[in-house]
Amino acid sequence: MDLIKIITYAYIAFFIYAGINHFRYPSFYDNIVPSYIPFPNFTHKLAGILEIIIPLFLLTKYRSTAALFMIIFIVLLYLGNLHVWLNNLPYGKNYFSNFQHTIRLFLQILLIFLTYIIYKYG
Number of domains in the chain: 1
| First-residue to last-residue Cα distance in the chain | 12
Encode pLDDT of 85-106 as tens digits. 999 999 888 899 999 999 999 9
Q: Any idea what DSSP says for residue 39? A: -
Q: pTM for this one?
A: 0.90
For the cut 90, the answer to whether the pLDDT of residue 80 exceeds it is: no
**Residue range(s) defining the domain that contains residue 57:** 3-121
For the cut 70, the answer to whether the pLDDT of residue 62 exceeds it is: yes
What are phi and psi for residue 91, nearest 5 degrees? -95, 105
Can you say how many angstroms the Cα of residue 122 is from the centroid of all Cα atoms in its chain? Answer: 20
